[in-house]
Each structure stands twice: as structure tokens, then as C-alpha cells.
Amino acid sequence: MSTKELIEGCLHNDSDSQRSFYEQYSSRIMGICMRYASGAKDTEVMAGYVFKRIFEELLKYPHDADMDKWVDERAIWNAVAYLHQDKHRYFIAKTTRYMENKNATGQPVDEAVLSAEDSRKIYLAALHALTPSYRILYNLTYVDDVEPEKIIENLEIARETYKVELEQARFQFKQYLNTYLYENGLRKQ
């Protein structure tokens, strides 16, 4: 089934086409949701929300665009929209608990000892530890390589706010990464 036939079937509420679309893009969307969500349970709920929104937005799909890139972009921004929906969690205090994590940085670990999968888990754990607003900025800027102008426009924030919060997110991510690497190094030793 071609991409055009797949989209046409989804627009006509064909269950087979929807199922095949889900199977084709579920792993990509699940990977994106794993980065933006704060845990495994939140990832599943977010993935369901993102899929529903993408099925609705298939009407707006530009037929000359690359389907994989379009699905990735829509999944990213729908994940951001999902986090913005939960205002209670989104506006968590952004204070970095540097002093609390200071003790964990006493014994750095050698990353070369770790496998790629272990490193990915450590990076993902550090990303989940960020507050939702910092996680969004860090993911959009450093992982998904979205242009800063587009981030500022879509998030409707000031440029200075974007710079300040991105620096705080970066600093906090490093602190959490050091902590998890220290804990992982302790387990390795």
C-alpha cells in the first residue's frame, strides 16, 4: 500500500488503513514520546494522544512532503501540546536542586565502560528528570534540532526567556546526568 493510498484510507475511516498506518509509524512516534514524556506510563498515554491528533491532521498533509518527516514533526509538536495540556505538571517549580545532587557528583564514572544502551538509558533518565518546560526546550533544541525561531514562535515565548530557560535546562540536565552516571558507576564497581 502506497503512502497516498494509506492516507486516503485513513481519511475514509478505513480500519485496515489506520491499523497499517499505526504499525508503520508506531515505533518512531513511541521513540519521540519516550523523550518528551516523564515515564513509561506517561509515554503510552502521550502516544495515544499523538496518534489521534495525527489521524485528524492527515487532512492537512501536504502531498509533496516527505511522510516520515511530516509524521515526526507532527508527533513532536503534538507531544508538546500534550505537555501543555497538563498545566499542573507543566508549571512545576524550575529550581535546580544543585545542592542536593552535589554529593552524587563526587565520584564521576568513565563513560567508555558503559555500553551504548546503558548510556542511552542514562541520558533518557536524565531527560525524564527535567521539568516539562525544560524537557521541551532541551529536546527541541538539542535532540530534534528545531530552529530557535520556530520554537519561539510555536511556544509563544520571548527570545530572552528562551535563552535563559534553555541554559537552565542544559545545566540541570548535566547535573542529573552526573548523578545517574555516578549511581551507575557505583553499580558497576
**Residue ranges that bind other proteins, judged by CB under 8 A:** 13, 15, 18-19, 22, 26-35, 43-44, 47-48, 51-52, 55, 105, 108-112, 116, 119-120, 123-124, 127, 138-139, 142-145, 170-171, 173-175, 177-178, 181
CB 101 within 8 A of CB 181: no
CB 122 within 8 A of CB 177: yes
- CB of 188: closest distance to other proteins in angstroms? 13
Instruction: Locate 179 and state its grid cell.
Output: 548523578
Distance, C-alpha 163 to centroid of its chain = 19
CB of 31 to other proteins, least distance (A): 4
CB of 115 to other proteins, least distance (A): 11
Residue among 155 and 169 whose Cβ is closer to other proteins: 169
Please give the Cα distance from 69 to 136 (Å, whole number): 19
Shortest reach from residue 165's CB to other proteins, in Å: 15
Q: Pick between residue 65 and residue 124 the one whose CB is nearest to other proteins.
A: 124
Which residues 6+ apart lie within 8 Å of 145 measured at CB? Answer: none
In angstroms, the Cα distances linking 171 to 76, 121, 123 are 23, 19, 14
Shorter beta-carbon distance to other proteins: residue 90 or 98: 98
Question: 41, exposed or middle or buried, with CB in 10 Å at 0-12, 13-18, 19+?
Answer: exposed
- DSSP, collapsed to helix, strand or coil, labels residue 95 as coil
Please say which residue, 13 or 64, places its beta carbon nearer to other proteins: 13
Question: Residue 73: which H helix or E strand, with range?
Answer: helix 67-85
Closest separation between CB of residue 101 and other proteins, Å?
9
Residue number, 44 or 70, with CB nearest to other proteins: 44
* Beta carbon of residue 81, minimum distance to other proteins (angstroms, whole number): 16
Q: Give whichever of 11 and 157 is closer to other proteins, judged by the CB atom.
A: 11
